[in-house]
A and B are shown apart, each in its own frame.
Chain A
Amino acid sequence: MKKLNYPFTHEQVKELKVGDMVLITGKLFTGRDAVHKRLHDGVKPPVDLSNQIIYHCGPVILQDKKTKKYKVTAAGPTTSIREEPYQADVMKDYGIVGVIGKGGMGPKTLKGCQDYGCVYFHAIGGAAQVLAERIDSVDAVHWLDLGSPEAIWELSVTDFPVVVTMDAHGNSLHAEVQASSEVALKKALE
């Protein structure tokens, strides 16, 4: 089990390899479909994203009626492949060190990881409670006009469990499994 602690650097994440199980401690910014589209359209992000990690997640958030404080009640990853058209450009334009999501991403993002020193972390899809427990606080929210699940939530996390499935050196576990399972499928269909 490896650890990745805040502040994150490109040098740190470049050392990570496919198959590494990593516990992340520090800051995460949620961002999914609408955020990626908006960033890709050139709208300036409300926070500096350089050296940060974007988490593909639309959390369930409750706001305390009295204190107005936000609380995350469920926060697992959402399917990442929908950001495939935008992700590499977001890596390039905003200097992020990595993304967390599920299901993996395609060749364009893999090349982005290589070119801009980023890593794709795979969180366990559906494990919303285990992951929410690792979130210590909701520090801010931006672009709430996109709706709660689509907004940028600034989260502080401790020991957030992920697996590196695409590294900064051109390796992708998803491409490997896709290829090996295709061989197995062909055999099964014979």
Chain B
Amino acid sequence: MAIKKKIAKKLVKKPVKTAAKKSPPKKIIAAKKTIKKVAKKKITTKKIVKKIVKTENTQKTLEASLIELIKITSAVLPDDVQKVILEALHREEKNTTAEYAMNIIKANIELAKKKLQPLCQDTGTVLFYISHPVGFNQNHFTSLIHKAVVKSTELGYLRQNSVDSLTGENSGMNVGPGHPSIHYHQHGKKTVEVKLMLKGGGCENVGAQYSLPYTPLDAGRDLNGVRKVILDAVHKAQGKGCGPGVLGICIGGDRGAGYIESKEQLLRRLDDKNDVFELAELEKEIVETSNKLGIGPMGFGGKTTLLGCKIGVLNRLPASFFVSISYMCWAYRRQGIELSEKNQIKKWLY
């Protein structure tokens, strides 16, 4: 009710003010009366129009926020990733091809940030992870994500990267069956959080899924078996996934869930610590041992093969024991935003 009165007041006030400048005092009273009457009748339609305008505005704001998220994710590596890349650069021996590669990587990170242009031309699979409160309209949000993705492609923040698997035709829009990939999670908070990961094809191609026991490596259904297959995957990847890379791993689940969880592990910050003691130890050991394999940046040979490793667990069937491994290249593009009530970017999550 209070709002209604306020709107009515505003509607009445404005015309009167302009009228006051032009007309003599006597006419003001008459004008006021007529306007009041007209205004009362028009309030309902005006209110609806205003509501539509307001929704359109917040929709536009949301689209703008999503485009900003895509732009920044594509161009700027998060701090935790930049930090480990610099550490890797300093580890490599001087005047080696490994150091040369890391120096170009460093220069590239700086240049992309400065120019706000895609860090890597393969802007990858566009993966959205949305955490939202109860009662959130997913259909509506999905359509706005599609709009933002199309616009970002037109603006060159994303490459035309979505191909019809049967005809080979490129939609040119990055929208089609499975693209972009959108994952919704309901959470207890009132806020909406949107995380975005851009995962290139080169690193996606070196991902792997093992079913334990895996006899070629004598890998059994225990953490030692898990360790063996992970190291095997690192070796098989060599430099093809644009190393030094980061592993996201899921132990358990079915084949589909395992791969989804392995990617979600890549949403963790590189400097966080696994709550499960054994997994925290394994994550650390995998990185240390991988770096002793001598594969190095780009597979040129060198001291850094992996920048990080994150492992999660899902329950499995008694008959199955999968280890799903997602490899992320050094161009580890992930960002996230928390939206304000008006769909503005309230804060950046990484």
Name B205's contact: one of A79, A124, A133, A176 (CB within 8 Å).
A79
A-B interface pairs (CB < 8 A), number: 160
B65 CB within 8 Å of chain A: no
**A73 and B242 contacting across the interface, CB-CB below 8 Å:** no
**A60 and B231 contacting across the interface, CB-CB below 8 Å:** no
Residues 149-179 (chain A) with a chain B CB within 8 angstroms: 149-150, 161, 163, 165, 173-174, 176-178
Name B300's contact: one of A78, A147, A165 (CB within 8 Å).
A165
Contacts of A102 in B (CB 8 A): 202, 239-240, 242, 298
**A76 and B205 contacting across the interface, CB-CB below 8 Å:** no
B260 CB within 8 Å of chain A: no
A100 CB within 8 Å of chain B: no
Contacts of A129 in B (CB 8 A): 108, 111-112, 115, 117-119
A12 CB within 8 Å of chain B: no
Q: Give the A interface residue count (CB, 8 A).
A: 47
The interface-forming segment of A45-53, A85-93, A112-120, A182-190 is A182-190
A137 CB within 8 Å of chain B: no
Contacts of A76 in B (CB 8 A): 120-122
CB-CB under 8 A for A178 and B238, given A60-B159, A173-B301, A189-B228: yes
**B104 and A181 contacting across the interface, CB-CB below 8 Å:** no
Name A58's contact: one of B121, B329, B330, B331 (CB within 8 Å).
B121
A125 CB within 8 Å of chain B: yes
User: Could you tell me the distance in whole angstroms from the C-beta of B174 to the nearest C-beta in chain A?
Assistant: 12
CB-CB under 8 A for A188 and B120, given A128-B108, A149-B170, A163-B300: no
Q: Write out, one digit per residue, whether chain B residues 80-117 have a CB within 8 A of any chain A CB (1) or not (0).
A: 00000000000000000100110011011001100101
Q: Write out, one digit per residue, whether chain B residues 147-189 have a CB within 8 A of any chain A CB (1) or not (0).
A: 0000000001001110100001110100000000000000000
A67 CB within 8 Å of chain B: no
**B294 and A177 contacting across the interface, CB-CB below 8 Å:** yes
- Of A21, A58, A124, the most chain B CB neighbours within 10 A belong to A124
* A137, B84: Cα distance in complex, Å: 34
| Contact-residue size bin, chain B (C-beta under 8 Å from the other chain) | 35 or more
**B107 and A130 contacting across the interface, CB-CB below 8 Å:** yes
**A174 and B238 contacting across the interface, CB-CB below 8 Å:** yes
A59 CB within 8 Å of chain B: yes
User: Could you tell me the distance in whole angstroms from the C-beta of A58 to the nearest C-beta in chain B?
Assistant: 7
Contacts of B231 in A (CB 8 A): 185, 188-189
A99 CB within 8 Å of chain B: no
Residues 183-238 (chain B) with a chain A CB within 8 angstroms: 200-202, 205, 217, 228, 231-232, 235, 238
Name A124's contact: one of B105, B172, B289 (CB within 8 Å).
B105
**B119 and A126 contacting across the interface, CB-CB below 8 Å:** yes
Chain B, residue nearest A164 (CB): B97
A81 CB within 8 Å of chain B: yes
**A78 and B217 contacting across the interface, CB-CB below 8 Å:** no
Contacts of A58 in B (CB 8 A): 121-122, 159
**A73 and B117 contacting across the interface, CB-CB below 8 Å:** yes
* A174, B292: Cα distance in complex, Å: 17
Q: Write out, one digit per residue, whether chain B residues 283-309 have a CB within 8 A of any chain A CB (1) or not (0).
A: 000000100111110111100000000
A127 CB within 8 Å of chain B: yes
B324 CB within 8 Å of chain A: no
B335 CB within 8 Å of chain A: no
Name B292's contact: one of A122, A130, A188 (CB within 8 Å).
A188
B265 CB within 8 Å of chain A: no
7 A-B pairs, CB-CB below 8 angstroms? A58-B122, A75-B121, A76-B121, A76-B122, A79-B205, A126-B200, A184-B293
Q: 9 shortest A-B CB distances, which residue pairs?
A: A147-B170, A74-B121, A103-B240, A125-B242, A126-B331, A127-B108, A129-B111, A128-B121, A126-B120
